[in-house]
């Protein structure tokens, strides 16, 4: 049985730190090797950064697929190379949009939209990061991709030079690109001057620990009071109870034949019955055993857990 800590630690990432710097700091402070983050935040962005510890690293992909909430500010008058305030000014405009102007164009950015990622992003181009090529002076051309925006709204306009928004988006979405596209649609220049992530899937600021608080607490206190269960990232996946023998088979790469009784089981949290084919989280004696895939009446292990 694995005795190393496993679960999710949610950090409220401060401005100025990279996501990898946060992961490195968590690793050193807690004295553990296995950890990673679910969803990069730019150094100039703050907010929810889920950190997976131990066996939770096997569920990072599930945390990343959830929707995300952001609060952001667009400052009008300049386009910048990075689409945020870190970049160089590359175009200016004297135009400032009115509230009516902004409200009139927001609906076109809700739903499935085409979005070109920023040149200064971690997307790979011919094996190299786009931001590395852009910083080297190369002209980076990234293809548009389909992204999902669940909701977008104007919060307020503190001055004629800026407007604050909130957005709920799906996977692969860039707020910096949205800021650029909104500015272009309004016929004025603009860039993201402030960005804060408020939620990633089931992880929100209510779960988050500030960086100063994290570094000032003993590792034992952090793990006792702030570590969330691995299953938190799996709340949208149907769960299946397995016997000890079935758990042993799944841990050893063998399949399990599903019965009617299996499909009638409800998860402890009351999620819906397992129907049809699909993915399940398998538990035995209250402990997460594996992520499994159902094909017909056969369950096979996709990822096992050493808990």
Numbered ranges of CATH 3.30.2350.10 in the chain: 7-66+202-233, 68-200
Specify burial of residue 92 (Cβ count, 10 A radius: 0-12, 13-18, 19+).
exposed
Numbered ranges of CATH 2.30.130.10 in the chain: 237-304
Contact (Cβ atoms closer than 8 angstroms) between residue 12 and residue 205: yes
Report residue 121's pLDDT band, with 50, 70 and 90 as the boundaries: low
Can you tell me the mean pLDDT for 46-62?
A: 94
Compute the distance between CA of residue 206 and CA of residue 69 in angstroms, rounded to an integer: 13
- Of 228-232, 252-256, 265-269, the range with the highest mean pLDDT is 228-232
pTM: 0.88
Compute the distance between CA of residue 88 and CA of residue 81 in angstroms, rounded to an integer: 5
Exactly one of 12, 42, 69, 181 is catalytic; which is it? Answer: 42
Main-chain phi, psi angles of 175, to 5 degrees: -65, -35
> Which residues partner with 89 through β-bridges?
80
Q: Choose the CATH number for 7-66+202-233 among 3.40.50.620, 3.90.920.10, 1.10.260.40, 3.30.2350.10.
A: 3.30.2350.10
Active site includes 42?
yes
- CATH code for 68-200? 3.30.2350.10
Percent with pLDDT over 70 in the chain: 90
Compute the distance between CA of residue 66 and CA of residue 233 in angstroms, rounded to an integer: 9
- Say which CATH topology domain 237-304 has: 2.30.130
Q: For residue 120, what pLDDT is reported?
A: 66
Q: For residue 276, what pLDDT is reported?
A: 46
């Amino acid at each position: 049985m694995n005795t190393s800590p496993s679960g999710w630690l949610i950090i409220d990432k401060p401005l100025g730190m990279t996501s990898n710097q946060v992961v490195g700091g968590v690793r050193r402070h807690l004295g553990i090797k296995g950890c990673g983050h679910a969803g990069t935040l730019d150094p100039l962005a703050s907010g929810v950064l889920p950190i997976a510890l131990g066996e939770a690293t096997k569920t990072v992909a599930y945390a990343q697929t959830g929707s995300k909430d952001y609060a952001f500010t667009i400052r009008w008058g300049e386009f910048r190379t990075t689409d945020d305030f870190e970049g160089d000014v590359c175009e200016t405009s004297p135009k400032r949009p009115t509230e009516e102007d902004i409200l009139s164009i927001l609906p076109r950015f809700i739903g499935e939209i085409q979005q070109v990622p920023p040149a200064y992003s971690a997307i790979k181009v011919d094996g190299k990061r786009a931001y590395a090529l852009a910083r080297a002076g190369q002209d980076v051309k990234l293809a548009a991709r389909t992204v999902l925006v669940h909701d977008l709204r104007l919060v307020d306009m503190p001055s004629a030079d800026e407007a604050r928004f909130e957005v709920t988006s799906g996977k692969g979405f860039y707020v910096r690109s949205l800021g650029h596209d909104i500015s272009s649609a309004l016929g004025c220049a603009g860039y993201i001057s402030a960005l804060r992530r408020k939620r990633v899937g089931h992880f929100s600021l209510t779960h988050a620990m500030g960086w100063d608080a994290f570094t000032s607490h003993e590792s034992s206190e952090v793990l006792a009071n702030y570590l969330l269960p691995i299953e938190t990232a799996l709340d949208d996946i149907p769960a299946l109870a397995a016997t000890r023998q079935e758990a042993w088979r799944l841990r050893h790469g063998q399949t399990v034949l599903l019965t009617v009784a299996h499909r009638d089981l409800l998860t402890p949290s009351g999620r819906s019955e397992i129907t049809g084919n699909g993915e399940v989280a398998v538990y035995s004696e209250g402990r997460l055993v594996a992520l499994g895939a159902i094909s017909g009446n056969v369950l096979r292990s996709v990822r096992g857990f050493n808990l």
